[in-house]
Structure 1
Amino acid sequence: MRKLSMALLAGVALVGCGVDPQAENQEIVNNLVEAGYPADDIKVVDDLVYVGNDAHVTLEASREMIQGHTGHEQYSTTNLVGTGVTKICLNPTATFNSYSQLSAGLDLAIQNYNQLGLRITFQRGGTGCTANITVQTTSGTGGSSGFPSGGKPYGTANIGTGLQSYSVDVNEHVITHEIGHTIGFRHSDYYNRAISCGGTATNEGTAGVGANLIPGTPSTATVGGSIMNSCFRSTETGEWTSSDITALNYLY
Structure 2
Amino acid sequence: MKKMLIPLVAVIVIACSIVACKKEAKQTSQNEEVSQDALSKIKALGFGTSDVRKVAEGYLVEGDIVLTNENLDNVPPMGILRVGESEQYRTTNLVTKLPRTITVTTTGLTQPYIDGTIQTVTRYNNLNLQIKFQYISSGTADITIVGFNQGPSGGYITLGSSGFPTKRGNPYGQVKMNTNQYAYGTNPDPTYVGSVIQHEIGHCIGFRHTDYMDRSYSCGGATSNEGASNVGAVHIPGTPTGPDANSWMLACSNGKDRTFNANDKTALNYLY
TM normalised by structure 1 equals 0.79
Q: Which amino acid counterpart does residue 146 of structure 2 have in structure 1?
A: Q
1:7/1:113 Cα in 2 relative to 1: closer, same or farther (>3 Å)? same
Q: Are 2:165 and 1:148 equivalent residues in the alignment?
A: yes
Q: For structure 1, which segment, 26-35 or 182-191, has the greater mean C-alpha deviation from structure 2 after superposition? A: 26-35
Q: Which amino acid counterpart does residue 87 of structure 1 have in structure 2?
A: T
Q: How does 1:34-113 map to 2 (within 5 A)?
A: 34-45=44-55, 48-64=58-74, 66=75, 74=78, 78-83=92-97, 86-93=100-107, 95-96=108-109, 99-113=110-124
* Structure 1 counterpart of 2:30: 7
Q: Is the 8 A contact 2:34 2:52 kept in 1?
A: no
Distance apart, 1:197 and its partner CA: 0.9
Q: Which amino acid counterpart does residue 31 of structure 1 have in structure 2?
A: K
Q: Distance in 2 between matches of 1:7 and 1:44?
A: 10
Q: Which amino acid counterpart does residue 48 of structure 1 have in structure 2?
A: G
Q: How does 1:94-173 map to 2 (within 5 A)?
A: 95-96=108-109, 99-125=110-136, 132-140=142-150, 142-150=159-167, 151-161=169-179, 162-163=183-184, 165-173=187-195
User: RMSD in angstroms over aligned alpha carbons?
Assistant: 2.7
* Structure 1 counterpart of 2:242: 220
CA-to-aligned-CA distance 1:125-167 (integer Å, 9 cap, x gap): 26999x7111101124510000111211111100111325442
Question: Gaps (5+ residues) in structure 2?
Answer: 4-24, 81-90, 151-157
**Number of positions where the alignment pairs a residue of Structure 1 with one of Structure 2:** 226
Q: Which amino acid counterpart does residue 213 of structure 1 have in structure 2?
A: H
Q: Distance in 1 between matches of 2:269 and 2:47?
A: 27
Q: Is the 8 A contact 1:49 1:57 kept in 2?
A: yes
Question: Gaps (5+ residues) in structure 1?
Answer: 13-25, 69-73
Higher relative contact order (Cα pairs below 8 Å, separated by 6+ residues): 2
Q: SS at 2:199's partner residue?
A: helix
Q: Is the 8 A contact 1:193 1:203 kept in 2?
A: yes
Q: For structure 1, which segment, 227-236 or 1-10, has the greater mean C-alpha deviation from structure 2 after superposition? A: 1-10
- 4+ runs of 1 displaced by more than 6 Å? 126-129
Q: Are 2:261 and 1:241 equivalent residues in the alignment?
A: yes
Q: Distance in 2 between matches of 1:11 and 1:168?
A: 35
* Structure 1 counterpart of 2:8: none
TM normalised by structure 2 equals 0.74
Q: Which amino acid counterpart does residue 135 of structure 1 have in structure 2?
A: I
Q: Distance in 1 between matches of 2:178 and 2:30?
A: 22
Q: For structure 1, which segment, 75-84 or 49-58, has the greater mean C-alpha deviation from structure 2 after superposition? A: 75-84
Q: SS at 1:39's partner residue?
A: coil
Q: Distance in 2 between matches of 1:37 and 1:156?
A: 20
